[in-house]
């Protein structure tokens, strides 16, 4: 497939500014710190989209925490309803008996997090919760909800703050609306 034309991010509408994001992520960090007071947590980020959200979130959490990453590939998202998700990088350290929070950039159809939640439960964590920066509830194909949500949004395709279109724009500081909904989404 040819590389799509580059759209300069500064031409795209800002959905959440860097200040709004910083404020909301700090609030989630405080909530998590209160909920887990006295209990160490393992944050597990889903590469690559969640890397920036996780790095800000980890720095807003005041209880003992470590972090790890998983990576998944999904194919034919638009054509399937059964969750064609494959693990391509597993966790490095055991999470048995640990309090785990899966950290994702966007909860969209729910296929990725449903798959990862089942997989992580097989490792027998003491508890398992989900934190997502954005939630698009209208797009859900499987029933799953996050415990910590930055912002609920309608069905926009967004980029920035870790999120990409064709691997671009992850470093854009604000979350912006991509001018078209990509094919297959």
Minimum distance of ligand IMP from residue 49's CB (angstroms) = 4
Alpha helix segments (H runs only) across 84-163: 111-121
Indicate whether 133 belongs to the interface with ligand IMP (CB under 6 A).
Answer: no
Shortest distance in whole angstroms from residue 29 CB to ligand IMP:
20
15 binds ligand IMP (CB under 6 A): no
Instruction: Find, among 113, 111, 109, the residue nearest to 140 by Cα.
Output: 109
What mask of x and - would describe binding to ligand IMP in positions 49 to 68, judged by CB under 6 A? x-------------------
Closest approach of ligand IMP to the CB of residue 141, in Å: 7
108 counts as catalytic:
yes
**Residue the block writes with tokens 């391509």:** 88
* Active-site residue (options: 56, 105, 108, 135): 108
Q: How far apart are CA 144 and CA 142, in angstroms?
A: 6
Angle of CA points 137, 117, 74, to nearest 5°: 70
Token duo for residue 2: 């040819």
> Which residue of 58, 157, 168, 170 would you call a contact of ligand IMP, by CB under 6 A?
157
- The H-assigned helical ranges of 61-123 are 111-121
CA pair distance 25, 179, nearest whole angstrom? 26
Q: Which of 29, 69, 109, 130 binds ligand IMP (CB under 6 A)?
A: 109
Binding flag, residue 105, ligand IMP (CB under 6 A): yes
- Residue 138: both structure tokens together: 């209208």
Active site (catalytic) residues? 108
Binding residues vs ligand IMP (CB under 6 A): 49, 77, 104-112, 157-158, 163-164
């Amino acid at each position: 497939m040819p590389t799509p034309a580059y759209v300069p991010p500064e031409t795209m509408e800002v959905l959440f500014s860097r200040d709004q994001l910083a404020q909301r992520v700090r609030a989630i960090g405080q909530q998590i710190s209160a909920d887990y007071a006295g209990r160490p947590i393992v944050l597990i980020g889903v590469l690559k989209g969640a890397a920036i959200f996780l790095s800000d979130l980890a720095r807003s959490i005041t209880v003992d925490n470590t972090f790890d990453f998983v990576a998944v590939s999904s194919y034919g998202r638009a054509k399937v309803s059964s969750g064609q998700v494959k693990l391509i990088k597993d966790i490095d350290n055991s999470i048995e008996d640990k309090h785990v929070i899966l950290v994702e950039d966007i909860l969209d159809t729910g296929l990725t997090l449903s798959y990862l939640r089942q997989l992580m439960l097989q490792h027998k964590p003491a508890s398992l919760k989900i934190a997502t920066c954005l939630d698009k509830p209208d797009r859900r194909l499987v029933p799953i909800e996050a415990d910590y949500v930055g912002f609920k949004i309608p069905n926009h395709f967004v980029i920035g703050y870790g999120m990409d279109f064709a691997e671009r724009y992850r470093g854009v500081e604000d979350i912006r609306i991509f001018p078209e909904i990509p094919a297959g989404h």
